[in-house]
Amino acid sequence: MKFVIIVLNEQTKTNIKNQQFFLLKLIFLESPHFLQSISNHDSPGLLLKLFDQPLIVWNIKLIEKVKKIDTILIPEKYKETFLLVKEKFPSIQVNSISNEDLENSQTPQTELNLEIENLDTVWLNLNSVLYQAKDTQEFVIETIKYPWDFLRVIQEVLNNHVLESKISPSATIPKSTVLEGPCVIEEDAVIDDFCKIKGPIFIGKNSFIGMGSLVRNCMIGRKTTIGFNCEIAKCYYSGQTEIAHHNVILDSVIGENVWFGGYTGTANVLLTKKNVKFQIDEDLVDTGTDHFGAMVGHNSAVGAAVIILPGRHLPANSSIQAGTIFGKK
């Protein structure tokens, strides 16, 4: 679900500059999703990250660029999320809101074309991603329900927010490695010899890319290690994950603290070229795309020479023995 909520016209820019606007109340709401296994945090606002920031922090910071926020309301069941937002935004009044009060609140509309200066309240799902279109300067919201939704939106975020290379002075990149397209490479990241890094891409702090690897169009969280001669493409890595040598991981969502042994891969296309289906309980859900690999839950271990078939889900704390074809019926 996509809808535009903000248009940055000249009057908006003038209002921001002169601080001539009303204060905003931001209310976060619950919405169903199937991403719980990639982290052990209490809400999608924390378990999903963009540029190594919790999703809820990313969204609040973007809104603050165009509107001063006075109050943030978070459903009372999400205590961890509440405490983090309170810590990150000490100048904003952060309160809990009960389920009863939430039920009486307005829910997000499916389509909005409103200028933000005309709003005094914004309702946003905890599993929504906010990004700014580079051409129109509009702000777009997408609600993330499934892992393939998140992968698609990550590509939108990368294409619209990573417009030039920003490489930390403390990152290590040898002359033999090729950077193509805009790349954000953070502090103390190490790229080994003879790699190719294709942007737009984000590589987090203290990450390592092994010799001869091809890494393209990914969001890679901090302390991720990728071994030599790997291909990693259009993936999301939560961080603190280790990928051994000669792996091919494509179109996949990888949780925190995951281990992949050598010569392992996530197949991302069916031989029939039809849309990949993803099993949720007893149902097969059409992903709407013919390219989707796997979702691997946090604290999982995948042995050497494992092939994960398209559209498979490894729950959190899984262990897959070496040589397995995972998902074969």
**Per-residue pLDDT reduced to its tens digit, 82-108:** 999 999 999 999 999 887 777 666 555
Q: Mean pLDDT over residues 232-251, rounded?
A: 97
Q: What is the pLDDT, as a whole number, of residue 324? A: 97
- pLDDT band at 109, cuts 50/70/90? very low
Q: Mean pLDDT over residues 255-284, rounded?
A: 95
Question: Is the predicted pLDDT of residue 18 greater than 60, yes or no?
Answer: no
Tell me the CA end-to-end span of the chain in Å, nearest whole number.
Answer: 33
Q: Mean pLDDT over residues 224-230, rounded?
A: 98
Of residues 115 and 320, more confidence is placed in 320
Question: Is the predicted pLDDT of residue 1 greater than 90, yes or no?
Answer: no
Give the Cβ contact number of residue 112 at 10 Å: 13
Q: What is the pLDDT, as a whole number, of residue 6? A: 44
Q: Which residues contact 293 (CB under 8 A, 6 or more apart)?
A: 235, 249, 250, 251, 252, 266, 267, 268, 308, 310
- pLDDT band at 120, cuts 50/70/90? confident
pLDDT digits over 284-294, tens only?
Answer: 999 999 999 99
Torsional sign, CA 260, 264, 270, 273: positive
- pLDDT band at 118, cuts 50/70/90? low
Question: Is the predicted pLDDT of residue 258 greater than 80, yes or no?
Answer: yes
Q: What is the pLDDT, as a whole number, of residue 107? A: 57
pLDDT digits over 193-216, tens only?
Answer: 999 999 999 999 999 999 999 999
Question: Is the predicted pLDDT of residue 21 greater than 90, yes or no?
Answer: no
Q: Which residues contact 32 (CB under 8 A, 6 or more apart)?
A: 145
Domains of the chain: which residue ranges?
2-145, 166-326
State percent of the chain over pLDDT 90.
Answer: 75
Question: Is the predicted pLDDT of residue 5 greater than 60, yes or no?
Answer: no
- pLDDT band at 281, cuts 50/70/90? confident
Question: Is the predicted pLDDT of residue 113 greater than 80, yes or no?
Answer: no
CATH number of the domain at 166-326, please? 2.160.10.10
